[in-house]
Amino acid sequence: MIFKSYAKINLYLDVVGKRDDGYHDILSVFQSISLYDLMTIDEKKGKDVSFFSNDPSLKWDKGNLIFRAYEAFFDTLNLPRIGLRITLKKRIPKGCGFGGGSSNAGVILLHLGRRFGVDLKDLERIAMDLGSDVKYFLHGGTAIVKGKGDEVELVEDITGYSVNLKIPNLSFRTKDMYRKISCFLNKNHRKGRDPLHLLQALRKVDPDGIRSNVFNIFENVILLENPQLSALLENPHGIVSSFTGKGPAVFTLLHGESGRYRFVSKIEYSSQGM
């Protein structure tokens, strides 16, 4: 069976505090886009997994979120393991803020959940032990995400837009970026931007309202240390440009042709960051 494992962008991303468990509480608007990895999952005899990928850095070990999702599913639910042949064709750039690994983990959990008739709520509990974004990827679409990623409020899907994605030649470690933003956390750092106002503006196709409310708290840190990336935010033909996740990838939001697009994406690779 072949599955599309979709990427996401953060139309809005704020960090509202640090938790006792080491995670940070966020307030974000997640949006699925048409960029995806291809995952082929077939059952085979035995109880082992054969894993293949066009990304040679991905092995069948704890560094691979698909491996961790597979192990967590059977360990948590105490179900008999099955053998799988998994082929992953990576198309989503790694370490750029698109959630590709979390999306892959979501796909394998959903597949195993259907195979064994497991309730979605049980899959969500497993997902939360894997990573902050994985629970969202069990659903996709447009969502307001809070807490450490465990509070996912699905809202009516936004449509009528496309995005251009700009991928610089560098990547950031998530832990490092969260550590660096602490000095930017204060009551005025949002500058009046609001995720609910953003969603309203997107539905009304209000460019000024969209520009006034798109927000990513990591932008200041990214540009402070990598000022050359400011060129990626220039968007003479788009509504607005912003970083996604903790960066460094940038999306430019555009009107969809005849309002029919559901965040169709186009990728441009950039030498910025070299």
Give catalytic status of residue 133 as yes or no: yes
Among the candidates 153, 168, 193, a domain finishes at 153
One domain, residues 189 and 148: no
Tell me the CATH number at 180.
Answer: 3.30.70.890
One domain, residues 122 and 178: no
One domain, residues 17 and 149: yes
> Could you say which of 37, 90, 133, 246 is catalytic?
133
What total number of domains does the chain contain? 2
> What is the reported pLDDT for 271?
65
pLDDT per residue as tens digits for the range 113-152: 999 999 999 999 999 999 889 999 999 999 999 998 889 9
One domain, residues 144 and 181: no
One domain, residues 147 and 67: yes
One domain, residues 166 and 262: yes
Domain extent, residue 252, equals 158-269
> Could you say which of 8, 90, 166, 246 is catalytic?
8
Give catalytic status of residue 21 as yes or no: no
Q: Which of 108, 241, 80 is nearest to 163 (CA)?
A: 241
One domain, residues 163 and 258: yes
| Residue 216 lies inside a defined structural domain of this protein | yes
Task: Give the model's confidence band at 274: pLDDT under 50 very low, under 70 low, under 90 confident, else very high.
Answer: very low
| Residue 135 lies inside a defined structural domain of this protein | yes
Whole-number percent of the chain with pLDDT over 70: 94
Q: Which residue has the higher pLDDT, 77 or 261?
A: 77
Tell me the CATH number at 132.
Answer: 3.30.230.10
One domain, residues 232 and 120: no
One domain, residues 142 and 174: no
Work out the mean pLDDT of the chain and round it to a whole number.
91
| Residue 274 lies inside a defined structural domain of this protein | no
One domain, residues 206 and 81: no
Task: Give the model's confidence band at 85: pLDDT under 50 very low, under 70 low, under 90 confident, else very high.
Answer: very high
